[in-house]
Chains A and B, each alone.
Chain A
């Protein structure tokens, strides 16, 4: 067993405890609340993915909602028009999204900083335009409806309370994988690339390859999130994957704490529930949201989770 710094076992134990307690939530949360919770956890998967590219490798990408859309549409098309079982169409959607990200990543990851941000933004905008206009396959503005729900033999996962366990399991599994990658040489290399690209190359890391891996991981996570979304909502339309959603994913990551898996989840849950908690404010909640964003950027640049890390004594290293 590898040796962990002192604070980390505490973080791991705390994370496991939170996950275990979260299994009890369907018993206490009402119908609408559980739908929002499912959405929050699905977003969390996409944000953990974004954390590879943005939090670790420092790639500013605004394509995350586009990749979520890829996953959602691939599984929607395969499970409606082709008639595949969702258990088959979801993995195909995940792999397919990964392949798309490699095809895009190979040319555009030569770009840096703002230029990369613009190129990924272009992808997201293009995705929505294609989805809106390719009516025969992607259904245009009407989207694709009647997407079948997931089902186990004798236990259809047709309601949100049951679907919660699917989403919980997916989030637990993807968080665990993300943690494994973070503590591996790949995670170290991703963080190194952001800190100093030239020194990373000189330390025997193939910089292009590691950026591509981070980018593809972020897309694969997004693809899974999209596929899970499609089979929960049973309906997908272009608006759900617009550029504004990519910005929201980025906001979730920054509010929770970039570079942190637990932060990714925290940010996703908070940002998803905020409009619900402030429903009385109507659209004025955006002012509160913007204000919160500012406060966090100024006083907690490492996100809300850095408050917990301070208590654990190693600021910025809870991952």
Chain B
């Protein structure tokens, strides 16, 4: 299998708590790969370790044949593995458009000189045009010049996706993008995710909203108490006894009887 992201035995412990325990994943290119699990299973910790927010306690992360284990966050993002956050982390003092432009930082020359008189200026103008188009595609055309805090929550989540997309990611990691969205907004999100997949982007979707996951995911991994307990297509995962046990608790079979 042609995996864009290969996670091999990744662990993360906080003192004696094993938040992630030897998890291995192979995320296939151009698909929506979903990671699900009960609250506190370690899904967000997993994403944090993958994207350089937290240091791992063991295991390796390979992204497109590059070893990105414990690489700093900006290196991971520059390599093409870009994430969004569970609670929506935007820059409150910047406009919507400016928030999105921050995501393009690694595409621009880094010197102060180039920012004042050099190539960074014309390049930023190009990216600004691109970012406006991206915002328009996500239904945020009229919000581009507003302060980001003035937007309703659902739209703020979309701004975060736009900020990730302007980085030109190869793999987009979404940490509970549907959390707090109403059903209309979830439908819109589903459309966005499917469009991105159709454009060839790989998505790693951590999500609680089972309706969404079961409909869009090509493959699902289930994590419980930091360990991967199952992996397969949505149909396979839905039928897996260990998954039902993790979600519903031990003894659900007796309730059936």
The interface of chain A, by Cβ under 8 A from chain B, is 2-3, 5, 177, 180-181, 184-189, 191-192, 194-196, 198-207, 209, 213, 217, 259, 316
Residues of B close to A195: CB separation below 8 A = 90-94
CA distance A199 to B85 in the complex (A): 8
| Chain A residues closer than 8 Å to B120, beta-carbon distance | 184-186
Is the Cβ of B103 less than 8 Å from the Cβ of A180? no
Contact B93 A191 (CB under 8 A): yes
14 contacts between A and B (CB under 8 A): A5-B145, A180-B115, A181-B116, A184-B124, A185-B102, A186-B115, A188-B101, A195-B94, A198-B73, A202-B73, A202-B77, A204-B103, A205-B106, A207-B74
Most chain B CB within a 10 A radius of its CB, from A5, A186, A200:
A186
Pick the contact of B77 from A177, A186, A203, A316 — CB < 8 Å?
A203
Task: Determine whether the beta carbon of A201 is less than 8 Å from that of B72.
Answer: yes
Interface centre among B53, B106, B112 (most CB of A within 10 A): B112
Chain A, residue nearest B104 (CB) = A185
20 additional A-B residue pairs with CB within 8 Å, beyond A177-B116, A184-B121, A205-B106: A185-B115, A185-B120, A188-B98, A188-B105, A192-B99, A194-B93, A195-B90, A195-B94, A196-B89, A196-B90, A200-B91, A200-B102, A202-B52, A202-B53, A202-B76, A202-B89, A203-B164, A203-B167, A204-B77, A204-B82
How many chain B residues touch A (CB < 8 A): the figure is 42
Q: How far is the CA of A189 from the CA of B103 in the complex (A)?
A: 9
**Chain A residue nearest to B48 in the complex (CB):** A198
Are A191 and B94 in contact, with the CB atoms below 8 A? yes
Check B242 for interface membership: any CB of A closer than 8 A: no
Chain B residues within an 8 Å CB radius of A187: 115
B24 contacts partner chain A, Cβ-Cβ < 8 Å: no
Chain B residues, Cβ within 8 Å of A189: 102, 105
Docked pose: A298 CA to B230 CA in angstroms: 57
Consensus secondary structure, chain A interface: helix
Interface residues of B in 151-202 (CB under 8 A from A): 163-164, 167
Contact at A202–B72, with CB atoms within 8 Å?
A: no
Judge if B108 is at the interface, Cβ distance under 8 Å.
Answer: yes
A198 smallest CB distance to B (angstroms): 6
In the complex formed, the residue of A with least CB distance to B106 is A204
Cβ contact within 8 Å between A259 and B112: no
Q: In whole Å, how far is A204's beta carbon from the nearest beta carbon of chain B?
A: 4
- Whether B74 contacts A199 by the Cβ 8 Å rule is no
How close is A176's CB to chain B, nearest CB, in angstroms? 9
A178's nearest neighbour on chain B, judged by CB, is B116
Q: B137 CB to closest chain A CB, in angstroms?
A: 18
Complex: A156 Cα to B35 Cα, angstroms: 73
In the A-B complex, list the 6 residue pairs whose CB atoms are closest, starting with the nearest: A201-B73, A184-B115, A199-B89, A204-B106, A204-B77, A195-B91
A199 with B101: in contact, given A2-B128, A5-B145, A180-B115 (CB under 8 Å)?
A: no
Instruction: Tell me the complex Cα distance, A56–B96, Å.
Output: 17
Q: Does B78 contact A (CB under 8 A)?
A: yes
* A198/B53 contact (C-beta < 8 A), A191-B93, A192-B102, A204-B167 known: yes
